[in-house]
A and B are shown apart, each in its own frame.
Chain A
Amino acid sequence: MTILKRGLSRRRVLQTGLAGIIGTGISPMIFSRGAWAQEFCNNPTGDTVTFGLNLPLTGAYAEEGADEQKAYELAIKHLNGEGDGGLISVLTPTALKGNGVLGKKVTFVTSDSQTKSDVARAGATRMIERDGAIMITGGSSSGEAIAVQGLCQELGVIFMAGLTHSNDTTGKDKRRYGFRHFFNAYQSGVGLAPVLAEAYGADRRAYHLTADYTWGWTQEESIKNATEALGWQTVEAVRTPLGAADFSQYLTPILNSGADVLILNHYGTDMVNSLTQAVQFGMRDRQANGKDFQIVTPLISELMAKGAGENVKGVYGTSNWHWNLQDPGTIAFTKSFGAAYGSPPSQAAHTAYVQALLYADAVERAGTFYPPEVIKALEGFEFDGMGNGPTLYRAEDHQCIKNVLVVQGNESPTSEFDVLNIVQEIPREDVAYDPAMFGGELGPAEPVPMCA
């Protein structure tokens, strides 16, 4: 090997290069100064205002994402005074006028979050920085919601969470700029456990299969706590990767575990697959410990029930909302959604729609898009008419407190959409809890002046 040629010239090149790099250190200040002149991030100055829809259009929760997108498009139509107005007329109290938000027409941009936290964050950043989104909303996974919520706090943009059921979203990882209308795993546990104990007895042995991320972890914990308090035992809790197509390797050990209930802490396609495979394994025809083997899906939606078909019959779970409720809000929304898309809305669509309306309403009440004022308008807001009965947006953790539905797979569906029956509506007093229970800190409301 030849000896390296050393010389002054190389050093000089290095020096020149370094000088250039130091020079670049000054330029960012010149570039970003213009951004600070703006009062807050993406202050809408024209006659339109942009919502950023961050939706999983691919991945394990893609179907929920697609349904959410339909709901957002419908909500934006209604906000702009097009279509039949949907829930605008039934929301009480309301400040919405059906002429956009603060007189500005609502437009939207979308981004495919691929059911991945990383991608969701990149998409949200793009919509904020490039497309000037005033608010980010959507998501079907708690991993995404928590990741995007942290980002929105950094950038000072409000995040209206879509479908996220983890306790952490408004617990350990809550943020001042993040709001959740959907219920959470703790409420599922409190609502579901008594129904399970009544149906299956108080001396059951449960085996959990859990999606391995924040939502799965907290739901497993919540269901475990709630069922064990009623006398159940937990044999084992096994974590499965999100988006696993084949669950057979996790299902085989259950047969000899001595468990007589299988709890599937899965969602979306994962749940459709694991439930279908569990039934194919003959679990529902089995006897264990002298009892009929049972399967429970603590969080279930119409989309998944439809996907699982026959296999979901008789299976218990909880839902945030169901299109078959008989209050004026639900009737109006189901009618409006059905007229536009030809199918009843899922709970994901419902929460997405409601979040968009609630944000718009809060802006109207605040009289400005300035996020700290909008946050104040949302915190502690008590409303009714959105299909969940009287609802409170709690100021302490930005969690909506409302009724929770316990549902069961319909044994004799009358149509392809009639797949879930409402067993019980748990009143919101019973599922409310101390906001300090899960820890976490909301952080400040004042936006940091770094939005580009």
Chain B
Amino acid sequence: MAAMPRNDLLLFLGFTLVVLAMPIWLQPFGAAYPDLLQRFMIFGIFAVGFNILFGLTGYLSFGHAAFFGVGSYAAVWSFKLLSLDVIPALIFAIVVSGVFALVIGFISLRRSGIYFSILTLAFAQMSYNMAYSVLTPITNGETGLQLTLSDPRYLDRAIFEAVPGQPVPTLLGQSLGGFAGFYFCAGFLIIAFFIAQRITGSPFGMMLKGIKTNQTRMHYTGFNTKPYTLAAFVISGMYAGLAGALLAVTDPLAGAERMQWTASGEVVLMTILGGAGTLVGPVIGAWLIKYFENIFSAINDSILRRFFDFLPDGVDSAMVTVASKFVGEGWFLTLGLVFVIIVIFLPGGIMEGVRRIAHLFNRAPKAPGKANPQPQPAE
């Protein structure tokens, strides 16, 4: 394994272990149930892909949810028209979102910086509105595209008789509900992480980092940066499409909300929260945000009251009143606070915090440049 640096290999193996053991170590946090674990995997993939464009290449796309949504719709249509098997659905979704990213990327990448962000935002918002109202026959609008008993499923019908019951996606006949779905998605997250790691370490990745650092200088040295940025955009779009398709696999319903600008903003938050430009950071950011969304939003007054039970009478109800503003439907407030704190004190995201702590324990002076990495503020 000489071609893979030892540190990279350790990181990859460690990541794999952490991911596969999630049902065990998340138990005390109340998050070890399949639906949330699947979401952790799916949004992890989404964030890893987004990081290739944002963290590595330095292009802030504000419309990545569009590819996510396109992947979902493509997968559900594959379930409806072709087969309930997930393999054609995933391939179809990745191809469709890749083509979609190619078109949008080709136009948007004519500009950089804020103009690029605005362009992608505009395209995503257009896609959302199309899905929401104009393309209702294809997307079923706000109601969401669902599987029904009467779907044609030409490939399945050609091979065997229709089975009675609610159609659910399968992998070669094996149903993907519950933990099976989690391990299926976990496999993809690990592959996605591995590919991202290889891209980061490759000459292609070096080019992307060069573009991020100083694109003009790249031009002067005689490189045409456009194919590289476009490639990064398309790869990133395909990651998003894969994530969207997996979401449709674990829950075969595609709604337009997942293309909304808030969903695009969410993946930006995930990446910055975890640490843009790092490999693990975006995944951690994705997990944290999804954890907040699912666990904090589910805490209600009665849970809080039980939690503050030990306090004297007047104090506990006061605490419940205060705390209830930050949980339940107020979970955005908590998330916002965490985000503000992290951006102010740890501009490099959670990964910078990890690095600082590691630095505390590892005072032994090494190469001066390496021991104290400069924080990389998110742009």
Contact = CB atoms under 8 A, between A and B. Distances in A.
Contacts of B168: 154, 448, 450
A437 interface: no
Interface string B13-54: 000100010010000001001111001000000000000000
B166 interface: yes
A414 interface: no
A10 B4 contact: yes
A24 B146 contact: no
A207 B146 CA distance: 30
A277 interface: no
Interface string A18-50: 001100110111011001000000000000000
B239 interface: no
Contacts, number: 170
Interface stretch (A125-133, A309-317, A341-349): A125-133
A295 to B, nearest CB: 23
A187 B297 CA distance: 36
By CB atoms of chain B within 10 A, which of A25, A126, A443 has the most?
A126
B133 A212 contact: yes
Contacts of A150: 146-147, 166, 253
Interface in A338-387: none
Contacts of A122: 35, 39, 251, 294
B344 interface: no
Contact of B253 (A9, A28, A118, A213): A118
Given A17-B190, A146-B146, A443-B166, A126 B298 contact: yes
Interface residues of B, number: 61
A212 B136 contact: yes
A199 interface: no
Interface stretch (A104-112, A221-229, A258-266, A319-327): A104-112
Nearest to B148: A173
Contacts of A10: 3-4, 198
Contacts of B153: none
Given A21-B191, A28-B179, A1 B33 contact: no
Given A20-B190, A122-B35, A126-B294, A173 B146 contact: yes
Contact of A125 (B35, B183, B300): B35
Given A109-B298, A112-B328, A28 B148 contact: no
Contacts of B184: 28
Nearest to A22: B187
B1 interface: yes
B311 interface: no
B321 interface: no
Interface in A434-452: 441, 443-444, 448, 450-452
B68 to A, nearest CB: 12
Contact of B144 (A1, A35, A117, A441): A117
A28 to B, nearest CB: 4
Contacts of B368: none
Contact of B141 (A4, A13, A212): A212
Interface string A264-304: 00000000000000000000000000000000000000000
Contacts of A25: 183, 187
A418 B16 CA distance: 62
A239 B133 contact: yes
A35 B207 contact: no
A9 B3 contact: yes
Given A4-B202, A35-B178, A154-B166, A24 B329 contact: no
A9 B178 contact: no
A58 interface: yes
A112 B253 contact: no
A142 interface: yes
B34 A452 contact: yes
Summarize B's interface: helix, strand, loop or mixed: helix
Contacts of B294: 122, 126
B16 A20 contact: yes
B316 interface: no
Interface residues of A, number: 63
B255 A17 contact: no
A12 B1 contact: yes
B257 interface: yes
B4 A13 contact: yes
A450 B178 contact: yes
B2 interface: yes
A123 B35 CA distance: 9
B2 A7 contact: yes
Interface in A415-435: none
A121 B253 contact: yes
A214 interface: yes
B143 A213 contact: yes
A226 B202 CA distance: 67
A24 B187 contact: yes
B9 interface: yes
B165 A28 contact: no
A151 interface: yes
Nearest to B146: A150
Contacts of B203: 1-4
A450 B149 contact: no
B166 A153 contact: yes
A154 B204 CA distance: 45
B177 interface: yes
A421 B53 CA distance: 60
Interface in A89-129: 109-112, 116-119, 121-123, 125-126, 129
B196 interface: no
Contacts of A151: 251, 253
Given A146-B146, A443-B149, A17 B329 contact: no
A275 B240 CA distance: 40
Contact of B329 (A2, A35, A57, A441): A57
Shortest beta-carbon contacts, A-B, top 3: A452-B178, A213-B142, A28-B180
28 contacts: A1-B203, A1-B207, A9-B3, A17-B194, A25-B183, A28-B180, A58-B329, A111-B298, A117-B142, A118-B144, A119-B257, A125-B35, A125-B251, A126-B298, A130-B33, A150-B146, A150-B166, A150-B253, A155-B177, A212-B142, A213-B141, A213-B142, A214-B142, A241-B133, A443-B149, A448-B165, A451-B177, A452-B178
Interface of A: 1-5, 7, 9-10, 12-13, 17, 20-21, 24-25, 27-29, 31-32, 35, 57-58, 109-112, 116-119, 121-123, 125-126, 129-130, 142-143, 146-147, 150-151, 153-155, 168, 173, 175, 212-214, 239, 241-242, 441, 443-444, 448, 450-452
